[in-house]
Amino acid sequence: MKWYPFMSSSDPSTSCFVSCSRDHPVQLWDAYTGQLRASYITKDHVDQVCAPISLAFNLDGTKIFCGFDGQLQIFNTGRPGTDCEIVPLTPNKKSRDGTKGLVSSIAFSPDQSGLYGVGTYAGSISLYDSLTHNPIQTLKPSTRSGVCQIHFTPTTATTLLFAASRQSTVIDCWDLRMMGHTPLGRFHRDAQTQQRLAFDIGVIEHGMHLVAGDKSGTIRVYDVISALDHAAHSTTSTTADHTDVLEIDTPWCEFKNAANASIGATQFHPFAPVIAMCSGERVQTWERNIDLNPDTPIVANSNEPELDKHMECRLSILKWDTAANTI
């Protein structure tokens, strides 16, 4: 789901969000009443209703971008229904050109340049012009295990793009002023899991921070600009083309045992030092030893580990004391 970009609680008309779910169209919901405001019907190549894998509003909220396998479907927010612009990301399925795979994440640069990024489960990230939808640059994440999320910095003061991948211990960072295929830096966290562990970028007090949870229940907060500057000055390798990737593994602050399960998402409050966090994971209750003989009954082994009863799936709102670095 994605909130309308200009959402304000003081203006009920802007208090809405879009969502997508399997075998349903994209739906626009009223956040106060729960009423359905509009539906945007996305279809596959055989004209069947199908849900997008990812979606996003553009910066002014006039369009909804929906990601599919190798294509985008773009709807005018004010025109619900089936009318949309279809943007192929590759000439054809056999072509080696273009952006391959299921579009897992879409993000827009805040500098009003019309730049937007597309990440896929095939492990690629590409930047496009929102007017022509022509590709501008292809980026190479540290791993090819599938991009889960891409995120631009929320202000125009810096032009950074961040990306997280499945089974990866880093969040990659690119400086778009010095466009290159390889990342500028890598922010470390323990995220070697098939879960999508979402992160967030926010301006808290006088600094830009990255907040990310990991699979062990720890929240890490990085001061982005200070961390990059410190890593750049402390690196021992200085090549002429500045192709070194800055490794950043010391967070500005760290909250251990924030949860007793994987932290699936963290989110900053827009203007207050508050962090929203959701945690939980799917756990097998027990493994079964099955005899291939069809006449043998299936019996659970009582000696095998059962579900950890202390593991919780929960949503938490955390007050962050920035002076003491505690929550």
Mind spelling out the 3-state secondary structure of 165-182?
Answer: ECCCCEEEEEEHHHCCCC
Domains and CATH numbers, the chain: 140-283+305-327 (2.130.10.10)
Mean local confidence (pLDDT), 230-252: 71
- Contact between residue 107 and residue 151 where contact means Cβ atoms under 8 Å apart: yes
pLDDT for 133-164, tens place per residue?
A: 999 999 999 988 899 999 999 887 778 999 99
Entry field: residues in the chain: 327
pLDDT for 47-83, tens place per residue?
A: 999 999 999 999 999 999 999 999 999 999 999 999 9
pLDDT for 8-49, tens place per residue?
A: 989 999 999 999 999 899 999 999 999 999 999 999 888 999
240 pLDDT exceeds 60?
no
Residue 181 binned pLDDT confidence (cut-offs 50, 70, 90): confident
Backbone angles phi, psi at 28, to 5 degrees: -105, 120
More confident residue, 283 or 258: 258
- Look-up of token digits 């949503």: 315
Average pLDDT, the chain: 87
Whole-angstrom Cα Rg for the chain:
22
Backbone angles phi, psi at 227, to 5 degrees: -65, -40
241 pLDDT exceeds 50?
no
How far is the C-alpha of 115 from the C-alpha of 85, rounded, in Å? 18
